[in-house]
Structure 1
Amino acid sequence: MAEDGALDFMKGFRDAEKVAQYPDGPRRFVPGLEAVHRMTGLLLAERVPDDGRVLVLGAGGGLELKALAEAHPGWSFVGVDPAAEMLALAERRLGPLMERVELVEGYIDDAPAGPFDGATCLLTLHFLDAEERCRTAAAIRERLHPGAPFVAMHGSFPQGKGERALWLSRYAAFAVSSGVDPALAENARDSVDRAVNMFTPEQDETILRAAGFADLSLFYAAFTWRGWVGTA
């Protein structure tokens, strides 16, 4: 991904008007997003104790934080995101749940050292190139107790000749079928094609293994999206 393209894409997460509209967007572009949040909580709960502390990287907007906090009232959270506007939206969304949440503006290096009982990174790693993605995943692992669970979900689909264009067209078609204006869906498709790092599921799994995660399993696959669970 070109650096300029990445910066242009990320500007939307710092635009107050666009951020206000954010919560509706992921639901229309990501099949079964609410179910992903529910599954994430179930996967974490296999190993996270009732009073566990969970790291959420890419927490802006607060969608997964709210879902996890409501489903697991004994857990506490640290949510990290580089966009102040997105963190402000998360705080508004969480309301009284904020008493169990610490929000940190920044990247993984700005997160507390832990150790945490579990971690998530949803709809985030595809913004990073392979080297930075591996470094970030490794930094998450370093902040976890040995054996603690990690759940990642992001864009990941076949990249062979003709396949990338086909799957990106399906990405846009799903958004249109969910009520997104066709012109906006096509613009999103072009932005993803130009400015977001998308690798094959095999490459993504290799990156997670290189970062030190074990027992990796694919738990979610829907059009251009994939989700994995592994352990530190």
Structure 2
Amino acid sequence: MISPRAPFADPEAVARYTDMPPRLVPGLDALHRMTALLLAERCAPDARILVLGAGGGLELKAFAEAQPGWRFAGVDPSAEMLALAARTLGPLAARVDMHEGYIGTAPPGPFDAATCLLTLHFLPPEARAQTLAALFARLKPGAPLVVAHHSFPQAPGEKPVWLSRFAAFATASGVPAELAQGAADGIGQHLPALSPEQDATLLAEAGFVDVSLFYAALTFRGWVAYRP
């Protein structure tokens, strides 16, 4: 969650991935359940779902268990993380088509819904806007998009406070204090995180409507929005 690529090319980091996110992301399991419920509001029992940033497979597993008739296209730039996703899914992997790459690698669709969890914060604003536009183009009219990622106040007087809260949560969740502080420092120095207001604006500028905040957990925010 610090560098967009390097940790996910490290086999040891990949092996730890399914253990670490619940310690860093408050309510991760609930985020996955809420996302599945938001998708199900608009999706039929046989829906096709695009999952961008699918490496590791945690959200894919949650969605597949929640909706046994859904099929998925999972996209991630890391072959190692896609392999981990397949192991995490086990027999459920038969319902997922894996695609190594970025959004341009994703099938054209149109899909009934899309998700992008814990991924967009790696992208600077221009690339983030391009990714949202490409997701929009792959959705059917009325389809939901659910996104969640680091999004917190960026003003000089506020940013350090929120990063210290991120580190405190990680430490309270069992991450060694020095590693938690190192992660917070890395986010502050290297991650192109935006404010919640900026993130919501990018969704609207990509063409999505009814942009609604549904998840707020320390440095993380999540929105549901729809292609008109």
TM range (shorter): over 0.9
Contact 2:2 2:186 survives alignment (8 Å): no
Check 1:9–1:79 CA distance in 2 against 1; reply closer, same or farther (3 A cut). closer
Give the secondary structure class of the aligned counterpart of 1:59: coil
Q: Which residue of 1 aligns with 2:36?
A: 41
State yes or no: 1:26 paired with 2:21. yes
Contact 2:153 2:159 survives alignment (8 Å): yes
The C-alpha deviation readout for 1:100-132, integer Å capped at 9, x for no partner, is 100100000000000000000000000001111
Contact 1:9 1:191 survives alignment (8 Å): no
How many equivalent pairs are there?
227
State yes or no: 1:157 paired with 2:152. yes
Per the TM alignment, residue 52 of structure 1 is displaced from its structure 2 partner at its CA by: 0.2
Give the secondary structure class of the aligned counterpart of 1:19: helix
Per the TM alignment, residue 211 of structure 1 is displaced from its structure 2 partner at its CA by: 0.8
Q: Which residue of 1 aligns with 2:114?
A: 119
Check 1:137–1:82 CA distance in 2 against 1; reply closer, same or farther (3 A cut). same
Q: How much identity, in percent, do the aligned residues show? A: 61
State yes or no: 1:79 paired with 2:74. yes
State yes or no: 1:59 paired with 2:54. yes
| Pick aligned residue for 2:124 from 123, 126, 129 | 129
Check 1:80–1:205 CA distance in 2 against 1; reply closer, same or farther (3 A cut). same
The C-alpha deviation readout for 1:6-43, integer Å capped at 9, x for no partner, is 99552101111110001111100110000000000000
TM-score (norm 2): 0.97
Q: Which residue of 2 aligns with 1:50?
A: 45
Per the TM alignment, residue 162 of structure 1 is displaced from its structure 2 partner at its CA by: 1.4
Give the secondary structure class of the aligned counterpart of 2:20: helix
| Pick aligned residue for 1:200 from 195, 202, 208 | 195
Distance (Å, rounded) in 1 between the aligned partners of 2:192 and 2:30: 24
Give the secondary structure class of the aligned counterpart of 2:5: helix
Q: Which runs of 5+ in 2 are unaligned?
A: none
Per the TM alignment, residue 194 of structure 1 is displaced from its structure 2 partner at its CA by: 1.5
TM-score (norm 1): 0.96
Per the TM alignment, residue 60 of structure 1 is displaced from its structure 2 partner at its CA by: 0.2
RMSD: 1.2
Q: Which runs of 5+ in 1 are unaligned?
A: 1-5
| Pick aligned residue for 1:97 from 67, 70, 92 | 92
Distance (Å, rounded) in 2 between the aligned partners of 1:215 and 1:196: 27
Contact 2:50 2:73 survives alignment (8 Å): yes
Distance (Å, rounded) in 2 between the aligned partners of 1:163 and 1:57: 30
State yes or no: 1:177 paired with 2:172. yes
Q: Which amino acid aligns with 2:128?
A: R
Stretch of structure 1 that moved more, 80-89 or 9-18: 9-18
Distance (Å, rounded) in 2 between the aligned partners of 1:144 and 1:82: 21
Give the secondary structure class of the aligned counterpart of 1:160: coil
State yes or no: 1:213 paired with 2:208. yes
Per the TM alignment, residue 197 of structure 1 is displaced from its structure 2 partner at its CA by: 1.1
The C-alpha deviation readout for 1:74-114, integer Å capped at 9, x for no partner, is 00000000011000000011111011100100000000000
Contact 2:110 2:139 survives alignment (8 Å): yes
Distance (Å, rounded) in 2 between the aligned partners of 1:8 and 1:152: 19
Would you identify which runs of 4 or more consecutive aligned residues in structure 1 move more than 6 Å? Answer: none
